[in-house]
Amino acid sequence: MSRPPGMTGVVEAAAPTRARQVVAALTRDRLGLLGLVLIALLVLTALFGPWLAPFPEQGAGLADVARHDLPPGGAHWLGTDPLGRDVLSRIILGARPALVVPILVVALAVLIGVPLGLAAGYRGGRFDEIVMRIADMFLAFPPLLLAMVIVALLGPSLLHAALALAVSWWPWYARLVRGLTAALRDRPFVEGARALGLRPFTVLSRHVLPNAAPPVIVQASVDIGTVILAVGSLAFLGLGPQPPTPDWGLMVAEGRTYVMTEWWLSAFPGLAIFLAVLGFNLLGDALRDVLDPRSVTR
Amino acid sequence: MILDVQDLLVRFPGVTAVDGVSLSVAENECFALVGESGCGKTTLARTVLGLQRPDGGTVAIAGTPLAGLRGRALRRLRAQVQIVFQNPYAALNPRMTAGRLVDEPLRLAHPDAGRDDRRRRAEELFDAVGLTGTHRSRYPHELSGGQCQRVAIARALAVGPRLLVLDEPTSALDVSVQAQILNLLDRLRRTRGLSYLLISHDLAVVRHLADRVGVMRAGRLVEQGPSAQLLDAPQHPYTKALLDAMPGRGRAALLADTIEAS
């Protein structure tokens, strides 16, 4: 699992960006728009899956052995699996965990990493050293391996996989935010805020964090895509959700045995993963351009 | 004395930034620090603001030593001394409007004041620095350099300081705007009884604002005295060399004219 290089540049005197301006700018960027569309499709599928799926009860795991191993076509657009379950229905029902789990993982990582990074970058000194060395220790483990160890200890389940990934993900945010904070700390407007007599918490939350946020938002968007892959990998290894849960990574794994004869079992869930990851990566790249004030033309 | 600095010592790894400096600023006085870049002026200013801990000596604000103060007591004393930075754009949070930038310190200084009360105070401050209500909703990048500097001054004044540290307050501005800001600073000193610790490279600015001048070199205060006397008849050879090298000699008359006119 490779990560894009972390962005360390401090955002220059950022113009205030309103959500509407960001969305407007995103829709002007064709690839960003494609990312938005893919994510919107994913969100809609996750929300309305049970109503969209042609065979919702099969999607949830009900077998119909008589209609097993049908190729794509007819009533089953994407074919059926060896238990006769509709592949399309299972992909549609798999959208919810595929979306919720990575968002949960990244949110948890941000929740742990950002405050630690803010505190470390602002206070400096020994506290900074300790936090960053702990972060280094976590980073020294390959994230998937760390997640595997944690899941092996706690037992395989989607929740444990999410927890495990969040634990291995927070140091990236701590590190990113620490760098941004350390650079912002010496800026006149932050020193001025301290000189006013504002409490450190207020200085951080009102003056430092809003100016450090854009790179974090970009990173989070790209990371959601990466975590979708990681969750898929864990599921593929049998360390995530267990059958008969409709999970994309698990479906790829289940179809592996039949991949030479029944390619649709693995190919379509794989395609779903691909499109979801692509959506978040494109959105992340577009956000990077939109939120980086150096590239803002106004 | 509103500010009393005794034998101040600030060390950074490898350098002694401030090396045994003693100076004081009286009520309603403007004391100017001049010296080349890296001579320790800014470090001295940051120490006075309580942003830098001294390694020796004392800083007292209105008779209360900064040393040993922590938390709430330190924050309260800090309100007595505020700073106006050189680059007004860098001095304002780019994500806050002028109105919010001034409201924030007002909340701090008057925690019990209601919204209407704070609004009235903000209007008074905007008026005092020569801005109008239309500027309140603007972000710093929508304001000119001079307007930003006025917002920065209003923000500093909002907590009711007695001493303003002016760190090259006009050197990032156009000449015509410089004169306006100098006028404003002059007026604020008179009307509000403020004291100034001015840091400047610009002789014209020093001559216009300062009552007394101190010359810093390599962390030490080599000479200090009344500004007219020191600027016209410097005693220390370094002061002579520095004054010859400083900008603003010929401009002093020009700036004075602009100030008269405006």
User: Would you say residue B82 has pLDDT above 50?
Assistant: yes
Answer whether B231's CB lies under 8 Å from B225's CB: no
Q: Given CATH 3.30.230.10, say whether it is the number of domain A21-295.
A: no
The CA distance from B42 to B38, in Å, is 8
Answer whether B93's CB lies under 8 Å from B155's CB: no
pLDDT of residue B125: 94
pLDDT of residue A6: 40
pLDDT in tens, A114-130: 999 999 999 989 999 99
Q: What is the mean pLDDT of residues B62-75?
A: 84
pLDDT of residue B254: 60
pLDDT of residue B159: 94
User: Would you say residue A201 has pLDDT above 90?
Assistant: yes
Structure tokens at B166: 């002016």
Q: What is the ipTM of this complex?
A: 0.88
Q: What is the mean pLDDT of residues A100-107?
A: 92
Average pLDDT over chain A, rounded to an integer: 84
Contacts of A282 (CB under 8 A, 6+ apart): A31, A32, A34, A35, A38
Q: By percentage, how much of chain A surpasses pLDDT 70?
A: 91
Structure tokens at A224: 């959601």
The CA distance from B23 to B213, in Å, is 10
The CA distance from A63 to B149, in Å, is 72
- Segments making up each domain of chain A, as ranges: 21-295
User: Would you say residue B72 has pLDDT above 70?
Assistant: yes
pLDDT of residue A116: 96
Chain B residue set in contact with A, beta carbons under 8 Å: 46, 49-51, 74-76, 78-79, 81-83, 85-87, 89-96, 104-105, 108, 139-141, 152, 155-156, 159
Q: What is the mean pLDDT of residues A104-123?
A: 95
pLDDT of residue B233: 86
Q: Do B79 and A197 touch (CB under 8 A)?
A: yes
To probe the interface with B, which of A18, A185, A189 has the most B CB atoms within 10 Å?
Answer: A189
User: Would you say residue B261 has pLDDT above 90?
Assistant: no
Which is higher by pLDDT, B256 or B157? B157
The CA distance from A216 to A177, in Å, is 7
Write out chain A residues lying below 8 Å of B50, CB-based: 195
Single-letter amino acid, residue B164: L
pLDDT of residue B79: 86
Of A14, A191, A198, nearest to B108 by CB-CB distance is A198
Q: Do B89 and A13 touch (CB under 8 A)?
A: yes
Which is higher by pLDDT, A122 or A63? A122
Q: Do B108 and A210 touch (CB under 8 A)?
A: no
pLDDT range class, residue B172, cuts 50, 70, 90: confident
pLDDT range class, residue B249, cuts 50, 70, 90: low
SS3 for chain B is: CCEEEEEEEEEECCEEEEEEEEEEECCCCEEEEECCCCCCHHHHHHHHCCCCCCCEEEEEECCEECCCCCHHHHHHHHCCEEEECCCCCCCCCCCCCHHHHHHHHHHHHCCCCCHHHHHHHHHHHHHHCCCCHHHCCCCHHHCCHHHHHHHHHHHHHCCCCCEEEEECCCCCCCHHHHHHHHHHHHHHHHHHCCEEEEECCCHHHHHHHCCEEEEEECCEEEEEEEHHHHHHCCCCHHHHHHHHHCCCCCHHHHHHHHHHHC
pLDDT in tens, A1-44: 444 444 444 444 444 456 777 777 777 788 888 999 999 999 99
Q: Do A192 and B156 touch (CB under 8 A)?
A: yes
The CA distance from A61 to A246, in Å, is 7
pLDDT in tens, B96-146: 999 999 999 999 999 888 899 999 999 999 999 999 988 999 999 889 999
Least confident of A56-65, A228-237, B210-219, B243-252: B243-252
Q: What is the mean pLDDT of residues A136-143?
A: 85
User: Would you say residue B93 has pLDDT above 70?
Assistant: yes
SS3 of A86, please? strand
pLDDT of residue B199: 94
Superfamily of domain B1-80+197-262: P-loop containing nucleotide triphosphate hydrolases (3.40.50.300)
Q: What is the mean pLDDT of residues B207-222?
A: 92
The CA distance from A112 to A165, in Å, is 13
Q: What is the mean pLDDT of residues A240-263?
A: 84
What strands lie across the sheet with B220-226, from one edge to the other? B81-84, B163-167, B195-199, B30-34, B212-217, B220-226
Of B90, B91, B94, nearest to A14 by CB-CB distance is B94
- Segments making up each domain of chain B, as ranges: 1-80+197-262
